[in-house]
Structure 1
Amino acid sequence: MIDLKKSGWDSFFENHFLKYNQQNTIYIPARITSFHRNLYSVLSECGELKGEISGKFRYQVQSIEKFPAVGDWVGVTKKEHEDKVIIHFVLPRKSCLSRKTPGVKTEEQVICANIDTSFLVTTFDRDFNLRRIERYLSFIWDSGANPAIILNKADLCTDVEIFVREVELISPGIPILCMSALEKSGVEQIYNFLKEGQTIVFLGSSGTGKSTIINYLLDAPKQATNTLRSDDKGRHTTSFRELFMVPGEKGMIIDSPGMREIQLWADEDIVEKTFADIEVLSQRCRFNDCSHTKEPGCAVKEAIEEGILEPKRLESYLKQKRELKGLSEKSEFAKKN
């Protein structure tokens, strides 16, 4: 019998689950560990089993974000002597990594759920991009999980401290871990975030070493890894999201395929968390509704002129604000129509 508490089950999920078991049907709690080719894998007290959604659930759910995602806790039923379960409902999520679906549709796509810490994995080579890091931080902050940043491939860099200082300036207070996963140097720092019942996820572009890091933590080659292509761009080595138990039951890990596109799905307020320094400066602007573009007495523009704030950081801030405002307007329009 598997102890679900080691997989993240706690009083939050227990209390919500009890409401369902007051009905005639007796449900079993389970956690989604993968979804591939329309088939789920779940972890329950009975072990890991295949699962599919009930017809009633599929009929009642009106939007894609309501369907189970990797990391979700669900209620299932299982017939005796069968190694398959039927998924009937999804429990409320503690945290949820979501983005706008790629393309023109204004829909939410859930990447994974019930995460405690989200690691953004980037490298000291061509993948290093401060603006992308800012974007990922907004993505993570909105989820409800705690962000952390991994700077991988330190073996390829001779100026590690310079890169670290640049990241520190845009992510005050956020843990930054430097390592070389290929050389197995510094990866052990991640164990500080892995505790029984905790779940972490690795995010970032393809080729940043996420699978190599996960293989180290799992002490087994669970995830395929590839070298870079001749143009230094990473190949996709993870084809679908999957949740793993760390040996010794020291927490859970979710590996996620590299994402070429992150269209934010968040409230405008989340930008204030990613760009807290700009928000502090804006309190000193002459006008409360200062757009930080052309108004007189703008403390943000003054900070740029004085070399305190990078112009590109302000551009990134304004871009995210515009994007989320547009998303909000499109969502409201969709609701009315």
Structure 2
Amino acid sequence: MNTHIPPEAFAMPQEAEKTGPVLEVEGLSLSFRNEGGLLPIVTDVSFSIGRGEAVALVGESGCGKSITASAVMGLAPDNAVITGEIMLNGQRISGLPPKERRKLCGRHMGFIFQEPMTALHPTLTIGRQMTDTLRHNLALSHRAATDRAAELLAKVGIPRARDILKGYVHELSGGMRQRVMIALAISCGPSLIIADEPTTALDVTIQAQVLDLLEDMRRELDLAMLFITHDLEVVGDFCDRAVVMYAGDVVERATSRAVVETPRHPYTRGLIDAIPAHGETRHRLTPIPGTVPPVGTWPKGCRFAPRCLRADEQCRTRPELGPAGASLVRCWHPVEEARL
């Protein structure tokens, strides 16, 4: 059986000639409606992703990365209030009704979840889940959907693809489950893939294999990819640009190289300083003091100020996102540019 799927098989004719960004997010803010009114979760998030490009959303847990991605995908909770613009292939999608927004999932946007064991259905075979997706989005016959599902599994490096289609998620290893998730995400030819910490639950060797696979898929299929992670080492190796988030704010935005090698925001620098060195002698690890404040307890000024050694009275006023070296940073006192 020929297991190669040419990139043009995934192309969407109406998008083939587009040269602008695949995804544009401008001034995205999200709040949850509760008994006390609106609880802000993320504030004024902006970025764009072009074809074949990977952009990282980086930050500690609780900084707003995953809920930002859910807002883009149209998977935010029902009590979410979203403002700002989300454009997909030049079309505004942020104002679409939920029913119309759901039609974009799979065919136009694919999602790779962090934990396949909870994302994949435990009582349906892998084949059933894949063929249902293909038949719903591409109107394929059962036989054609089964053939394509097997081709996709082979494409992501799963041996005995036809046998795997008959199995269940609990019968697979962690790496195999994540490969199934990747196959599902690319199955209907989306132009955008959102990967929500797809390697967190995997050991180091399998992490590297999954990242290599994602890189191959991105290059071969010319995908735009939003990559959510807390690991800046992955950002430097895998992504073109990075958006660093803290407590619902974008605090630094730059190329991945600039973020990793010459971080300008004290928070970004703190994340870098907390990364263990591999095979070399480096300064002692310096953890960032404190923790991310819970939603609803953010300071009125700079949200990082309570944990920042550079904070002063000026930081009681919220800074705007402005230029500092090769980055845009939300900081009154950016770190002096010095190669790490």
TM-score after normalising by structure 2: 0.29
Task: Compare relative contact order (CA 8 Å, sep 6+) and give the higher one, 1 or 2.
Answer: 2
TM-score after normalising by structure 1: 0.29
